Amino acid sequence: MKKNQQRPKGYVYIIGAGPGDPDLLTLKAERALRASDVILYDDLVTSALVDRFEGLKIYTGKRKDSHHFEQDAINEEIVRHALRGKIVARLKGGDPFVFGRGGEEIDVLRSHRIDYEIIPGITAAHGASSYSEIPLTMRKVSSSVAFCTGHPVNKIQAPDADTLVYYMVASSVHEVLEAVLKKGRKESTKVAIVQNATRYNQQVFTGTIGEFLRRDRVAYSPALLIIGENINHFIEKNWFSRKKKVLVVGGEPKQFSERDYVVVNFPCRREEAAERAEIERCIEGVGEWPVIVFPNRFAVKYFFGYLMEFGRDVRHLSGARICTIGRPAATELQKFGILSDLALEPESPSAIGGLLREGGVSRQKVLLPGSNLVDSYLVNALEEEGSTVTPLSVYLHGKHEQEETVDLDFIDEIWFSSPSCVKNFSALYRSVPDRITVTGADSGTEAEFARIFGGKR
Ligand code: SAH
């Protein structure tokens, strides 16, 4: 892009991701996510879903006790990317306008005059209702339904509707039930808790208000509480619980039909090996680059980790001019005994180009270590000055924040695509319960499983 050309203002999609089953994403949401440069996603959004898209992924997880991003910081991040001309997807669990803070986020976009649109999602109540076969309304039983919240406890309401659905109840079930009793409902009223609705580990607990009040801890997040006579309709063996849950480790096997199975994908991460080869190649030839630019402190940290791992040290960088962007990167560099030759502290991303020019970084071969998602702004700025840039991915953006492991208690079968996938799997799981049926794509894979897990089943 030419220097004086006006950058187009970005665009923001506020998207509902649905309650958990990645296939409950709408077609429209899928299209928008494919078109997005940046995807900011909540902790209720599974990584199986975001992994399908290419954009830069930023995890904004908001579990109560490990705040990753405060709401203000999330808003700032959305605005920052949009103002840089990016297409931003703000991906939220369920529906953005049902206890999803979508309203607050559009206020911020309106005030910055950033264009946006809203794509609804399947809210947890609808997912839980279908996947547990509890209708929310039923002729002659329930003719109204209310969505309520169990948080904060001093604001719990019990509206006058036949079916009540409570969100955010994991730690306030008792308080909700007390509030409902106070409004005149009987102790014998039916209650259901749907935990992890629409996911492979969905669990449904049923009873009466009286019974639940006598139990201690009854639910773990994410969970919904449903109250009303429609719960009489519930059956233990429903269409979803009947399906076998199969863990697929690598590959896409054909034999698990959608009708009989719920497939849980477990990525086998072979791609990391390919990246390592690239890193090794660049580090061995590191003398080829007269300039190395570190865009942040993670780039410094991981790059130097690999430098040592592949048998080099700082002396191998003595011929290069080293440039850092931002103070944290310069500070991180000092830990390795190097002072930055050019420590840039741009006030905004658009200032980087000018600072590089002033610092004399032009028409050079530049090595740019960073995350797997290259900052095109920086690459453009360097290229505009006639440099050739080699981006090198030394860490995976956002990945380390959300390493989920699958709970084998809910799994009926496991399928492995290759011996190396068995090996990767064994780094996370020491044993596999006997009741789980294990198969592999070929006899070599099954033999590898027997070799590693044989005695520990
Ligand atoms: N916007 C979301 C709700 C966010 S509030 C939606 O429309 O669904 C977070 C609450 O949603 C959780 O505390 C829980 O009560 C509920 N929730 C979200 N996903 C759920 C799931 N898979 N199973 C059960 N409850 C869920």
Domain's final residue, options 121, 148, 165: 121
Domain boundaries, position 304: 273-395
Pair 144, 67 in one domain:
no
Yes or no: say if 51 and 267 are a contact pair by the CB < 8 Å rule: yes
* Whole-number Å distance between alpha carbons of 383 and 353: 9
Domain's final residue, options 95, 121, 147: 121
Pair 427, 281 in one domain:
no
Catalytic one among 2, 3, 51, 62?
A: 62
Q: Which residue among 44, 220, 226 is best mutated to probe the pocket of ligand 1, counting the most ligand atoms within 8 A of its Cβ? A: 44
Pair 288, 379 in one domain:
yes
Q: Tell me the CA–centroid distance for residue 100 and ligand 1, in Å.
A: 9
Is the CB of 298 within 6 Å of ligand 1? no
Pair 284, 367 in one domain:
yes
Asked if residue 6 is part of any domain, the answer here is no
- Which pLDDT value is given to residue 322? 96
Number of independent structural domains in the chain: 4
* Whole-number Å distance between alpha carbons of 345 and 324: 8
Pair 48, 106 in one domain:
yes
Pair 291, 344 in one domain:
yes
CATH of the domain at 89: 3.40.1010.10
pLDDT, tens digit, 9 for 90 and up, residues 203-251: 999 999 999 999 887 788 899 999 999 999 889 899 999 999 999 998 7
Domain's final residue, options 97, 121, 145: 121
- Which pLDDT value is given to residue 8? 72
Pair 16, 101 in one domain:
yes
Asked if residue 284 is part of any domain, the answer here is yes
* Whole-number Å distance between alpha carbons of 97 and 432: 41
CATH of the domain at 285: 3.40.50.10090
The CA distances from residue 183 to 152, 180, 208, in Å, are: 19, 5, 16
Tokens found for residue 386: 């006639």
Pair 145, 197 in one domain:
yes
64 labelled catalytic: no
* Whole-number Å distance between alpha carbons of 379 and 385: 10
Q: Is the pLDDT of residue 292 over 50?
A: yes
Question: DSSP assignment of 346-393, as one string?
Answer: -SSGGGHHHHHHHTT--S-EEEEEEESS--HHHHHHHHHTT-EEEEEE
The amino acid sitting at 344 is L
pTM recorded for the entire structure: 0.74
Is the CB of 425 within 6 Å of ligand 1? no
Asked if residue 239 is part of any domain, the answer here is no
Pair 55, 101 in one domain:
yes
Catalytic one among 42, 43, 95, 375?
A: 42
3 labelled catalytic: no
Q: Which of 17-21, 40-44, 404-408 has the lowest mean pLDDT?
A: 404-408
Pair 386, 287 in one domain:
yes
CATH of the domain at 197: 3.30.950.10
Which atom of ligand 1 lies closest to the CA of 168?
A: 13
* Whole-number Å distance between alpha carbons of 343 and 362: 16
Q: Is the pLDDT of residue 440 over 90?
A: yes
Pair 29, 105 in one domain:
yes
